[in-house]
Amino acid sequence: HVQPTVVRRGYFPRGGGQVDVRVEPVLGKHLAPISLTDRGQVSDLYIRSFHAGKVPRHVADDMARVAKKSLRKICPDVFPEVEVVTESNVEGNASGILLVAKTTTGCLLGGSALGSPKKKSHATAKEAVSELEAALNDGGCVDEWLQDQLIFFMALAHGTSTILTGSLTLHTQTAIWVAEQMSGATFDVTKVDPSVAAAAAASSSNSSKSGRGYRNIAATPDTCANCCPERCMLERMCTVPPCSRTDSTNSTYRLRTWIVALRKRPSVTNK
């Protein structure tokens, strides 16, 4: 469980923001696997337009108005929920807008943009709308900003993890490589046509195998030695004993995309 608290927002170039994060470790348990293969249809749209410091409120109002009008053209059957915020307790001056599309299956895709003294408010709004529209057109269950963040959770989770993405970013490709080196998991990336993505997700031939099954046991050196012979590179992390896994030498995750395909990389065994 992760509980973030925004104490103070800070904006470029001055900075000075502060976020406090409370994390409760998952002791003695496995991380649940990720399964995101059905994008569904857009059911809700959210607009959060903000201004801070010396930036006047009408800037945020204009961004929200333009974004709302543009989103109505993209999703005419969905009426956006709008929030215009005057940020308090901030460092610096700023404006910006965040757009979120929620689907019938619970997927969240976003688009955002920051204002600038050299940029009109309507241009900022259209920039965010273009980013969200691109994410929706890409066909994935996650946008480009989220896909790489899920890779390490997939590598550490116990069981089957599968996500349907859009265009595979360089950040995601890098995250896959790093996760493979650190955990020994092998990611299988398959190109899927958008028209058959739903059918492919349900097909057994496209299902991923069980994961590496790392768990946080808050182990001392003695208990770690008794628990398993293999130590993960991450502090306070251990693998499940190999005897309890039926596929300890052939763990595979499938990351589906209809844009880019990667060859399956070999597993890495720490000696």
Token pair, residue 7, equals 């104490």
Q: Which of 153, 133, 12 lies closest to 73, judged by CA?
A: 133
Crossing angle, helix 57-74 and helix 121-138, to 10 degrees?
30
b/e map 101-136, b = 16+ CB within 10 Å? bbbeeebebbbbbebeeeeebeebbbbbbebbbebb
H/E segment holding residue 80: none
Q: Which of 105, 116, 253, 113 lies closest to 190, judged by CA?
A: 253
Instruction: Establish whether 51 is a catalytic residue.
Output: no
Token pair, residue 74, equals 């993209």
Contact 51, 60 (CB under 8 A): yes
Say how far apart CA 107 and CA 35 lie, in whole Å.
Answer: 11
Which positions are catalytic?
Answer: 171
